[in-house]
Chain A
C-alpha cells in the first residue's frame, strides 16, 4: 500500500485575472520507504505540491492520502507528527531571532516531548552539527549549517515521511555531498519515506527510486530511475531535460 498518494490535485492562487493554476491534475503515489523525486521547469508547481500536502496552500482540490487516511481541510496534530517538510531556501526558513536551541526546543515541546535537552543534543548529533552550534543564531551559521538545522527540526517529530524542497540547491557541492549522505543514512536508520524536489537530475538520480517530471503545473511523465539513467524518457519535455543535463 502506498504511504502517500496524490490524485487529481489542483492548486490555485488568487482569483480573477490574477488566478494562477499552479498545479493541474497531478497524480502520483509513493510506497513506504521509497524515495520519490519531483523534477521539472522552474515555476512548474513542484514546491506548491509539497505545500499543498502540508496544508500550506489555501485553495486546492483533489485527493491526498497519507498512510491510508484521506486528508481534508485542517490538518490534525497527529498529521504533523507523521509528515514534515524541509524548505527550499535555508536563508528564509529559520527565525532570525531564535537560536538553534530555541528552534529545536520549541518544536520538541509542541510535539509533546518532555526530555527536550537530551533530544536537542541528539538531533544535533544526528545531523552532524554537534553541541557547539546549539546556542548559535542563524546569522552565525553558513547555508549548509542552516539547512542541517532545518533538517533537524523536521526530524524532531520523528516523522515517517519527509518532504524535501530542493534541500541542496543553495549549497555548494561538498556540503551537498554531506547532506545527501546524511539524508541517505537517516532514511535507512529511521525507515523514512522521501518526496524530494530538485532541479538537478543527477541529485534525483542519486537519491530517488522513481521520479515525476513536471511542466507548467502538470506531471508529464513518471519514470523509474533506471529509465532516467538509461536516458529513456517518453515525453518530449523529459527528453529535452535529459539531453540538456548531460
Chain B
C-alpha cells in the first residue's frame, strides 16, 4: 500500500542571477518500506525531504502535481492544516542537529516540552519518558544529559537526541536526513534497529536520506539516486552495488575500503549529460 505519492516535485530559488532549480521534477512513491535517497552534496536530497512537509522558506518556491498522503493531497492545504500534518503524521529529523536544538534550553526541557505537546501527562511522567527515550538511543548517563545544554554534547550525542525526539509523536512517515552520519558503527546499528522496528511493527514509512552508500545498501529496501535535483537511477537496495549509472558507480568507487588499500581514492568525474537526462520515476 502506498503511504505517500509525490509527482513532479520542483523546488526553485529565484535570485538576481536567474532562477536556480534545486529539485527538478522528482516523482516517487513510498509504501510501508525503507526508502533510501542518496546522492552527492547539493543534489537536492534535503530539499526534497523538506518540500514533502512544505517547509521551503521564501524566496524558495515549491510546486508539485501532487503530494498525497494516504490519498489526502497536501498541496492545497493551508499552513495551518500543514502544522497538524507535521510531527503528527509526518515527522522529520533535520540534518544539522545542533542547529535544530535551542542553544539556551537544556536537553531535558526540550524533550519534555515536545513530549507534553503530544501527550497530556504531568512533569514527572514526561521526565521519566524522556530519560527512557535517551536510553533507547544508548545515551549513557541520561539524567546528566537531561540537565546539559546542546553545546555540551558530542557530535554523535546531538544526533541521537534528535532521533529520540522524533520518536515521540508516532508518525506514519518518518523522514530522516542523514541521521547517523556522526555515529560509530555500533551505535548506528542500534539507531537503525529502532527505525527498523517502527517500520516492521507499526507499519511506518521511512525516507532515509544519506550519503553512506554501504549503509543504504544494507539497510534500505529501495534506493533513489539523485544528481543535480533529479533522480538518475532507482534500484533495489541489495542491487545497489551492481548499479549501472556511471554516477552511482563513481560514488561507490570513491569509498575507501579496508580490504583493498590504495594510495589515492578515485574522484568522481562529472558528465554534463547526467544533469540533462530526464528524471527517472521512483513510483511503483
Contacts and interface: CB of A to CB of B under 8 A. Distances in A.
Interface of A: 13, 17-18, 20, 39-43, 47-48, 88-89, 91-92, 142-144, 166, 169-178, 180-181, 184, 199, 201-203, 205-206, 216, 228-229, 240-241, 244-246
B255 A202 contact: yes
Contact of B256 (A42, A172, A206): A206
B140 A216 contact: yes
Given A91-B96, A172-B251, A199-B185, 18 more contacts: A17-B144, A18-B147, A20-B144, A42-B157, A91-B99, A171-B211, A172-B40, A172-B211, A173-B212, A173-B213, A177-B267, A199-B182, A202-B256, A205-B256, A205-B261, A216-B140, A228-B258, A245-B258
Most buried by A among B41, B184, B257: B184
Contacts of A18: 144, 147-148
Contact of A172 (B39, B99, B141, B189): B39
Contacts of A245: 185, 258
Contacts of B263: 184
Contacts of A17: 144
Contacts of B256: 177, 180, 202-203, 205-206
Given A18-B147, A169-B155, A181 B181 contact: no
Contacts of A39: 184
Contacts of A176: 254
10 contacts: A43-B153, A91-B99, A144-B41, A169-B155, A174-B40, A177-B265, A181-B265, A205-B258, A216-B140, A229-B258
Contacts of A181: 264-265, 267
Contact of B186 (A13, A20, A240): A240
B182 A166 contact: yes
B254 A177 contact: yes
Given A169-B181, A229-B261, A175 B41 contact: yes
B203 interface: no
Contact of B184 (A42, A173, A175, A184): A42
B99 A42 contact: no
Given A41-B184, A42-B160, A205-B256, A174 B251 contact: yes
Interface string B129-142: 00000000001110
Nearest to A89: B155
A183 B153 CA distance: 27
Nearest to A225: B261
B182 A177 contact: no
A244 B213 contact: no
Interface string B30-49: 00000000011110000000
A174 B96 contact: no
A209 B152 CA distance: 31
A145 B255 CA distance: 19
A200 to B, nearest CB: 8
Contacts of B181: 169-170
B119 interface: no
A203 B257 CA distance: 8
Contacts of A174: 40, 250-251, 254, 267-268
Given A47-B155, A169-B181, A177-B267, A41 B255 contact: no
A244 B189 CA distance: 8
A18 B187 CA distance: 24
A199 to B, nearest CB: 4
